[in-house]
Amino acid sequence: MPTTTDISFLLNDEPQQVSQLAPTLTLLRYLREHLDLTGTKEGCAEGDCGACTVVVGEKDGDRLALKTLNACIAYLPTLHGKAVYTVEYLRRNGGAHPVQQAMVDCHASQCGFCTPGFVMSLWHHYETRIDQGGTDRAELANALAGNLCRCTGYRPILDAGEQMFKLPPVRFDFAPARKRLDSLPGGSLHYEAGAGRFYAPDSLDELLQLRRQMPDSTLLAGGTDIGLRTTKQFRDTGPLIYTLNVPELHELTVDDDVLRIGAAVSLTDAYKAVCKDYPQLAELRDRFASPPIRNAGTLGGNLANGSPIGDSAPWLIALGAQVVLSNADGDRTIALEDLYTGYMQQSRKDDEILRSVIIPRPVPGLQFHCWKVSKRYDSDISAVCGAFALQLEDGKINKARVAFGGMAATCARAGGCEAALNGKPWNKTTLAAAMTALDSDFSPLSDMRASAAYRQTLARNLLQRFYLLSGSDINPAGEQSLRAFTLPENTL
C-alpha cells in the first residue's frame, strides 16, 4: 500500500486535509481554534466531563459505525480516514433535530455549557436505538455516564432522552459519507509537521519495524491516557506510532476454549464479547470509564499501560488470561500477571508490542466475579477492583485465582489468599482464613481515592461478598439482595 503524508477525514460531510499542524493537536483545538467551530466545548481537557463530545463514523464493512468520542484528547491524525460529526451538523436540514427539540421541550439546559456534549451523546444513542424503537432510563443513564452537568441534576436530560424517540424521526443517510471514506487516501500514514512525527502503519509488519527503528517512540492506541501527557503535562512523546490502523490487532476470535482479542479492539467491543461469556462483568463494563472513553480506549492499551488501577487486569488475571507479545522476531505468550514487574514496569521488551489477549472461556464448576469500588458509580477510577475465580469440585476448591487492582504497585494476585483457598471446602471457615490471609498479601497506599485501611477492608469484604454469592455451605444469596446498585425497583 502506498504511504500518505497528509491527514484526510470528513468533517460534517466536508473533506478536510491537514498538513503542518502538530500531530498532538487535539481534534477539539482544531475545531475551535482552526475552524471556529465553537459548538464543541472544553470543560476539562482530560476526557472526564464530556463537554467536547463528538460523534465519529468509522468504516465497518460497507456501513459507517458511529461512536462517541472525547475530542479534547483525540489527536487529529487519529481521525485520518474517518468521518467526524459535531453539534453543528445536526441542524443541517434547517430545523432542530429531535434530540435538540426534546432537550428544549424538557428544559434540559440551564447554563448550556454541557449541552452540546449531551446532545451529541444523545444523538449517538438516537442513531443506534431508533430502529429498536427507543430506549429505557437505565440504558440512557449509562449512555450519558461520560457527560457531566453541574446545573440540572440530570432528570430533564434523561427525560429528553426518552422524549426524542417520540418526536417525528429525522434520519440522516450515512451511505454517501461511507462511500467518500473509500475515496480518501488510504495506506499507511506518515505524518510529519515541524518536530512532530506520527506514524499510522497499516500492517503488523510495518508496526513492528517502526517500533524497532524508533526506540524513543510512543505507542499510541486509544490515547485516553497519552492524550493527557500533552494536554496536561506538556511531555514530549517522541514520535507517535498509532496502532489502531493495524488490521491484525483488530482480530477477535472465539474458539472452543478461548477468546482471542486483538490489542486494538476497543474496550466497547472487547467487553461486548467478554460479557457474552461472563455476564457478571456487565456492571464493571458499564462503570469502566465512560462510553466515549471505552470507544476510544482498547483492551490492549488498558493492559499495556500497566496502571495498578486499570480495571481489566484483575479479572483477566483471575481468569488466567495470557497476552501475546510480538516484535519483528516473532511472538511469545506469557501469563498476564507476568507482564507486570513493578510500578509502571513490565517484562515487555522495548521493541515488543502487546498483540492480543487470550481469555479462557467458562468451564463447568467455575465460580467467578469481579467488582470495582469507587467514590462514584459512573466514570470513576477504582479504589479497589477485586476479581475472584474458583474452580469448584464437589464443594471443594480445586484452583483459586484471586487478583486485585488498587492494592499494590501493579494489579496482582493475592498469593496468600489463594493458598488459604486451594484444596479447601468453600465454606465459612475457609472464607475466614482467606480474609485473614488477604491482610498480609498487600500493603496498599493511602491516597485521595481511599486510605490503606479502607482498601484492606474492601479486599476482604469483596471476598466475603463473593462467598455470599457462591459459598457451598450456605444458601447463596442472589446478587440483587447484596448489591445496592441492583436493588430491584419493586422494593422501593
Partner 1 sequence: MSAARQPLPHESAHLHVAGEATYIDDIPESRGTLHCAIGMSTEAHALIQTLDLDAVRAAPGVVLVITAEDIPGVNDCGPILHDDPILADGEVHYVGQPVFAVIAESREQARAAARLGKISYKPLPALLTPRQAHAAGAYVIDPMSLTRGEPDKALSAAPHSLSGQFDVGGQEQFYLEGQICYIIPKEDDGFHVYSSTQHPTEMQHVVCHALNLSQHQVTVEMRRMGGGFGGKESQSAIFCGIAAVAAAKTGRPVKLRPDRDDDMLITGKRHGFAYDYEVGFDDEGRILAAKIDMIANAGFSADLSGPVATRAICHFDNAYYLENVAINAYCARTNTQSNTAFRGFGGPQGALAIELIIEDIARTLGKDPVDVRAVNYYGKQDRNVTPYGQVVKDNLLHELLPELLDSSDYSARRKAIADFNAGNSVLKKGLAVTPVKFGISFNVKHFNQAGALVHVYTDGSVLVNHGGAEMGQGLNTKVAQVVAHELGISLSRVRASAADTSKVANTSATAASTGSDLNGKAAEDAARQIRVRLAELAAELYDCKAADVVFADDKVTAGSTQIPFSELVATAYTHRVQLWSDGFYKTPGLSWDKDTLTGNPFYYFAYGAAVSEVVLDTLTGEWKLLRADLLHDAGNSINPAIDIGQIEGGYIQGMGWLTTEELCWNDKGLLTTHAPSTYKIPASNDCPPVFNTSLFKGENPADTVLKSKAVGEPPLLLGFSVYFALRDAVANARADNSHALYVAPASCEAMLNAIAK
- 55 is an interface residue for ligand FES by CB under 6 A: no
CA distance 213 to 278: 40
| Binding partner at 70 among ligand FES, partner 1, none, C-beta below 5 to 8 Å by kind | ligand FES
Q: Which stretch binds ligand FES (CB under 6 A): 45-53, 221-229, 340-348, 459-467?
A: 45-53
CA distance 381 to 379: 7
Q: How far is the CB of 155 from partner 1 (least distance, A)?
A: 5
Q: Which is nearer to ligand FES, 222 or 444 (CB)?
A: 222
The residue count for binding ligand FES (CB under 6 A) is 23
Q: What are phi and psi of 119, to 5 degrees?
A: -60, -40
| Binding partner at 451 among partner 1, ligand FES, none, C-beta below 5 to 8 Å by kind | partner 1
Which residue stretches of 262-337 are H helix? 267-277, 282-287, 291-296, 299-304, 313-319
- 151 is an interface residue for ligand FES by CB under 6 A: yes
Collapse the DSSP code of 102 into the 3-class scheme (helix H, G, I; strand E, B; otherwise coil) and give the result. Answer: helix
Q: Which is nearer to partner 1, 91 or 349 (CB)?
A: 91
CA distance 172 to 127: 9
Q: How far is the CB of 227 from ligand FES (least distance, A)?
A: 9
- 48 is an interface residue for ligand FES by CB under 6 A: yes
Please state, in angstroms and as integers, the Cα–Cα distance from residue 32 to each residue in 26, 55, 79, following that order. 10, 16, 16
Going 184 to 131 to 259 to 388, the CA torsion angle's sign is positive
Going 119 to 125 to 131 to 136, the CA torsion angle's sign is negative
> Exactly one of 91, 107, 150, 349 binds ligand FES (CB under 6 A); which one?
150
CA distance 452 to 369: 23
| Binding partner at 52 among partner 1, ligand FES, none, C-beta below 5 to 8 Å by kind | ligand FES
Beta carbons of 380 and 373 less than 8 angstroms apart: no
Q: Which stretch binds ligand FES (CB under 6 A): 40-48, 212-220, 240-248, 473-481?
A: 40-48
CA distance 319 to 90: 44
Q: Which is nearer to partner 1, 114 or 354 (CB)?
A: 114
Residues numbered 102 to 141 that lie near ligand FES (CB under 6 A) are 109-115
Q: Radius of gyration of the chain from Cα atoms?
A: 23
Q: Which stretch binds ligand FES (CB under 6 A): 39-47, 255-263, 303-311, 454-462?
A: 39-47
> Exactly one of 7, 11, 18, 49 binds ligand FES (CB under 6 A); which one?
49
Site string for ligand FES, 59-98 (x = CB under 6 A): -----------x-x--------------------------
Beta carbons of 73 and 231 less than 8 angstroms apart: yes
Q: Which helix (H) or strand (E) holds 178?
A: helix 175-183
Task: Please give the residue ranges that form the binding site for ligand FES (CB under 6 A).
Answer: 42-45, 47-52, 70, 72, 109-115, 149-152
